[in-house]
Homo-oligomer: A and B are copies of this chain.
């Protein structure tokens, strides 16, 4: 895919339910500091690569977002890239307007006024969270990006964008309505995350984690995967690397010291894993996080 950087407003093509939306496929990391959107809920979908949001006032503090999941941040919730950095990735995002009245919001959509109200209610009720999506969703998003970047003078471009955006939003409502039911159920995820967090710099043990969560080790692994979309090992690795980001960005200690604190066998090993995971080295990360710019790759 050629380099793309798209941003549109729904009102540009008769679709006020969309406050704004966009896409970029950057091969370099960028700074994105704390900000919030008063206009509505923001949905973000990573088509390729990895990135994440950090929320200011949320217990979980980070919306994990490995490639292929969908995350949502509620109106007026301050958030930023992980340690103010958006990693190189293919990022699609849009904001569903939650201020304008439902009748106006239904303009240019196939939705009834009632359906628009339901859609916005489901999104707002689900809170700040991340859900897995299906392959059909990925297809619609790809088609939508193709329509948005179409410069052939296609007379159906605007209608196609409205149509595909509606389809994408409707599918988001479906995914999040399934999710919001699940999140209310119990505190398994919270306990598991707390245990993992306490083990950073040491090793985590599945048996111990399972006891902490009052389930068998087999049930722990299965349920962990279902609830977070990741295996415990992947999750733990990510947690360590996220903590590495935090220390790189905030503390003026050497990268070797950070590698040691987080239980990596050497600074070379740390660098290799970090680069594999984030697409840039700890050194480059420090430069960007502290306000420098990254060389074009």
Each complex incorporates copies of this chain amounting to 2
In the complex, which of the residues B110, B139, B143, B167 contacts A109, with contact meaning CB atoms closer than 8 Å? B110
Q: Tell whether, in the assembled complex, residue A163 and residue B156 are in contact, meaning their CB atoms are under 8 Å apart.
A: no
Q: A108-B110, A108-B112, A110-B110 are in contact. List 14 more A-B contacts (CB 8 A).
A: A15-B110, A110-B162, A110-B166, A115-B156, A115-B159, A136-B143, A139-B139, A154-B174, A156-B173, A156-B174, A159-B170, A160-B167, A163-B167, A164-B167
Q: Tell whether, in the assembled complex, residue B170 and residue A156 are in contact, meaning their CB atoms are under 8 Å apart.
A: yes
Chain A interface residue number, banded? 20 to 34
A217 within 8 A of B: no
Q: C-beta contact mask, A158-198 vs B, less than 8 Å → 1, else 0?
A: 01101110110010011000000000000000000000000
> Which chain B positions have C-beta within 8 A of A170?
156, 159-160, 163
The 5 listed contacts between A and B (C-beta, < 8 Å) are A108-B112, A110-B159, A110-B163, A112-B159, A160-B170
A118 within 8 A of B: yes
Among the interface residues A14, A115, A118, A143, which one has the most CB atoms of the partner chain B within 10 A? A115
Q: C-beta contact mask, A107-129 vs B, less than 8 Å → 1, else 0?
A: 01111100100100000000000
A153 within 8 A of B: no
Query: With A and B bound together, what is the CA distance between A174 and B109 in angstroms?
Result: 20
> Which chain B positions have C-beta within 8 A of A110?
15, 108-110, 159, 162-163, 166
> Which chain B positions have C-beta within 8 A of A173?
156
Shortest Cβ gap from A62 to chain B (Å): 30
Q: Tell whether, in the assembled complex, residue B166 and residue A163 are in contact, meaning their CB atoms are under 8 Å apart.
A: yes
Q: Which residue of B lies closest to A165 (CB)?
A: B110
Q: Which residue of B lies closest to A167 (CB)?
A: B163
> Which chain B positions have C-beta within 8 A of A154?
174
Q: Which residue of B lies closest to A115 (CB)?
A: B159
Q: Please judge, given known A-B contacts A156-B173, A173-B156, A174-B156, whether A112 and B164 are in contact too, CB under 8 Å.
A: no
Which residues of A in the span 73-123 have a Cβ within 8 Å of any Cβ on B?
A: 108-112, 115, 118
Q: Tell whether, in the assembled complex, residue A111 and residue B167 are in contact, meaning their CB atoms are under 8 Å apart.
A: no
Query: With A and B bound together, what is the CA distance between A115 and B109 in angstroms?
Result: 13
Q: Which residue of B lies closest to A173 (CB)?
A: B156
Q: Which residue of B lies closest to A112 (CB)?
A: B14
Q: List the 9 closest A-B pairs by CB distance, nearest first.
A: A110-B162, A110-B163, A163-B167, A110-B110, A115-B159, A163-B166, A156-B170, A108-B110, A109-B110
Which residues of A in the span 135-154 have a Cβ within 8 Å of any Cβ on B?
A: 136, 139, 143, 154
